[in-house]
């Protein structure tokens, strides 16, 4: 009897067999989302509902096998358990740079978010104030900050789906899950790709131009004596080579230190620029009357919309939130949205401490004299080149260059991920190091070519802000309604429908206004002639 009992117990201790795998889903343009919770520590569930203890790994790695039993022990989680068992884990996530390493934490999240959430686009905010004036400028900036912080919270909550047990580690994955792949290619692919590739092009333009100024500041009169100084295009190339060399770091977690340096330098140059401008006082004959008050109503409306486009463009970075959260481990007890939100709150507190003084202090110091191209950075060199010490100007320029190189890495990562995903889908294996290096060099020097060919890209800030606005302010609201399905006519239902609709309408008018302003005022189109 004891032998029979022992035999029965040994059979009972065996984990339940896994169900047969279903056929893999049709191929998407982006990798399949990661199954949650963290799979590297999951074990078989005993009939008593207890999970055996195993030592925790300090640097968890994404598994490449799908034959793992999910770790859910409560009766309420049985639908999730069933969904997880019927879902085939895509091994590509362990081969791609965004999800290759999942040992991130709230500090890494803060570094990446701060580096991507603040940048050169913030220096143009005083230009929007010249149209909106003091009152509406501050109101517009405040409302935009609160709005984008709310949609950021939506994205963080949508990263992990309790209903399907999936982790959406890329913006396109979440959009395709909420709607479908075809609509994702039509409405989301271009703005997302632009926010990555277009930002890298703008960083080359800013970084290369500032490198030339930094060299002139440090070298002084000796540079003017040179017969053949480096041209602007050559400085673009120097910056691109540095960015491509740094881009060889393998994955998003490996550039956490780079993002930390980029975050420190971003806060550094934003603070130094507005402090210097305020310390030197207002320029003579500064005017704060909104531009275009006496012009026609149509032109006035278009100017206001273009100013709102500049403000919306300052809050970019939402296309990277899911990617940053995808680098974090996730379990039933500690889902990734908890440390992610902590990191975001710290970073956006610092972002607010930079953006508001920069916009308000810059407009107070320069008024209508703020240059439309370059904003505060151009104003610093134009008005205070002679009355500010060379050391301070050189340090500020160096901060801008280092931040541009650092930001290039995090904004380029979705593009690296997309290129490598095409190889892994076709070859069903990880991308070799030499091909990965070629992909990243091709992307970097491709951005260099665009920066040289279209150097007036920065003059389209208002128009580009309208194109990218739905990614930040509208799509998260619609994806929340589609995936979370809040009760009809509930406060959450009304809030998301209202903000999403307002964001799409505003985007349409911003694009129309941006086109009108470009046609009416004109821009200096100089192909292959960077200044």
Residue 190 has pLDDT above 90, yes or no: no
Going along the chain from its start, the domains and CATH numbers come out as 91-521 (1.10.4160.10)
Report, as an integer, the average pLDDT of 462-485: 86
Lowest mean pLDDT among 5-19, 177-191, 393-407, 428-442: 5-19
State the DSSP code for 160: E
Better pLDDT: 519 or 77: 519
Sign of CA dihedral 513, 514, 516, 522: positive
Whether the pLDDT of residue 229 is over 50: the answer is yes
- State mean pLDDT over 243-253: 93
User: For residues 278 and 16, which has the higher predicted lDDT (pLDDT)?
Assistant: 278
Segment 518-531 mean pLDDT? 60
| Tally: H helices and E strands in the chain | 20, 3
Residue 520 confidence (pLDDT): 65
pLDDT band at 463 (very low <50, low <70, confident <90, very high): low
- Let me know how long the chain is: 531
Q: Which parts of 102-166 fold into alpha helices (H)? A: 106-117, 125-158
| Span 93-144, pLDDT tens digits | 889 999 888 888 999 999 999 998 887 888 889 999 998 989 999 999 999 9
3-state helix, strand, coil in the chain (%, to 5): 65, 0, 30
pLDDT at 224 over 80: no
For residue 219, pLDDT over 50 is answered with yes
Give the chain's radius of gyration (CA, Å): 26
Check if the beta carbon of residue 217 is closer than 8 Å to that of residue 393.
Answer: yes
* 228 vs 7, residue with greater confidence: 228
Low-confidence winner among 87-91, 352-356, 386-390, 511-515 (lowest mean pLDDT): 87-91
Residue-wise pLDDT for 51-101, tens only, equals 444 444 444 444 433 333 333 333 444 444 433 333 344 567 889 999 888
Quick check: 166 and 36 in contact, CB under 8 A?
yes
329, 361, 378, 449, 505 from 103: Cα distances, Å: 6, 40, 40, 36, 40
Q: Give the pLDDT of residue 452.
A: 86
Confidence of residue 434 (pLDDT cuts 50, 70, 90): very high
For residue 416, the tally of other CB atoms under 10 A from its CB is 23
Sheet strand arrangement including 34-35: 34-35, 166-167, 160-161
Share of the chain above pLDDT 70, in %: 76
In the three-class reduction of DSSP (H, G, I as helix; E, B as strand; rest coil), residue 102 is classed as: coil
Q: Write out the DSSP string of 59-90.
A: S-B--S-S-------SGGGHHHHHHHHTSPPP
User: DSSP assignment of 30-56, as one string?
Assistant: SPPPEESS-STT--PPPTTS-----PP
CA nearest neighbour of 171 among 424, 482, 479:
479
- Which residues make Cβ contacts (< 8 Å) with residue 401, sequence separation at least 6? 207, 210, 211, 214, 239
453 and 527 in contact (C-beta within 8 Å)?
Answer: yes
Structure tokens at 489: 């006519």
Q: What pLDDT sits at residue 404?
A: 94
| First vs last C-alpha separation in the chain | 91
Query: What's the mean pLDDT in 429-445?
Result: 93
- pTM score, whole prediction: 0.80
How confident is residue 524, by pLDDT bands cut at 50, 70 and 90?
A: low
Residue 467: predicted pLDDT: 77
DSSP class per residue in 478-492:
HHHHHHH-PPTTSHH
Confidence bin at 460 (pLDDT 50/70/90):
low
Q: Residue 2: which pLDDT band, with cuts at 50, 70 and 90?
A: very low
């Amino acid at each position: 009897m004891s032998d029979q009992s022992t035999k029965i117990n040994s059979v009972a201790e065996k984990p339940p067999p896994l169900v047969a795998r279903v056929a893999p889903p049709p191929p998407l343009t982006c990798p399949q989302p990661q199954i949650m919770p963290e799979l590297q520590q999951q074990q078989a569930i005993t009939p008593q509902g207890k999970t055996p203890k195993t030592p925790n790994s300090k640097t968890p790695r994404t598994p490449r096998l799908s034959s793992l039993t999910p770790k859910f022990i409560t009766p309420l989680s049985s639908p999730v358990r069933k969904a997880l068992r019927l879902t085939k884990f895509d091994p590509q996530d362990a081969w791609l740079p965004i999800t290759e390493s999942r040992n991130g934490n709230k500090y890494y999240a803060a570094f990446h978010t701060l580096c991507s959430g603040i940048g050169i686009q913030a220096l143009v905010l005083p230009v929007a104030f010249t149209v909106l004036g003091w009152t509406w400028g501050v109101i517009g900036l405040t409302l935009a900050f609160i709005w984008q912080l709310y949609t950021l919270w939506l994205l963080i909550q949508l990263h992990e789906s309790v209903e399907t047990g999936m982790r959406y580690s890329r913006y396109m994955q979440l959009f395709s899950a909420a709607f479908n792949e075809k609509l994702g290619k039509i409405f989301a692919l271009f703005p997302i790709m632009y926010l990555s590739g277009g930002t890298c092009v703008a960083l080359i333009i800013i970084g290369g131009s500032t490198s030339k100024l930094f060299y002139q500041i440090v070298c002084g009169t000796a540079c003017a004596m040179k017969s053949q100084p480096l041209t602007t295009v050559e400085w673009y190339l120097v910056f691109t080579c540095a960015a491509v060399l740094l881009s060889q770091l393998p994955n998003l977690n490996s550039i956490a230190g780079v993002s930390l340096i980029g975050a420190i330098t971003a806060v550094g140059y934003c603070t130094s620029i507005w402090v210097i401008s305020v310390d030197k006082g207002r320029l003579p004959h500064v005017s704060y009357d909104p531009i275009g008050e006496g012009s026609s109503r149509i032109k006035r409306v278009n100017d206001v919309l273009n100013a709102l486009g500049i403000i919306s463009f300052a809050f970019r970075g939402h296309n990277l939130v899911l990617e940053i959260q995808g680098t974090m481990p996730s379990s039933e007890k500690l889902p990734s949205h908890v440390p992610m939100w902590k990191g975001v709150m710290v970073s956006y507190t610092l972002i607010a401490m930079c953006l508001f003084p920069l916009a308000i202090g810059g407009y107070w110091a320069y008024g209508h004299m703020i240059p439309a191209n370059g904003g505060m950075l151009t104003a610093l060199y134009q008005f205070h080149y002679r009355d500010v010490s060379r050391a301070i100007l050189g340090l500020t320029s160096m901060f801008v260059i280092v931040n541009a190189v650092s930001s290039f890495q995090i904004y380029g990562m979705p593009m690296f991920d997309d290129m490598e995903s095409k190889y892994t889908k076709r070859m069903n294996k990880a991308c070799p190091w030499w091909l990965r290096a070629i992909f990243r060099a091709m992307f970097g020097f491709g951005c260099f070519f665009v920066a040289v060919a279209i150097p007036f890209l920065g003059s389209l800030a208002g128009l580009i802000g309208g194109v990218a606005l739905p990614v930040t302010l509208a799509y998260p609201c619609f994806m929340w309604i589609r995936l979370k399905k809040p009760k009809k006519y509930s406060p959450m239902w009304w809030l998301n429908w209202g903000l999403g609709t307002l964001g799409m309408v505003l985007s349409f008018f911003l694009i129309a206004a941006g086109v009108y302003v470009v046609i009416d005022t004109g821009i200096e189109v100089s192909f292959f002639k960077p200044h």
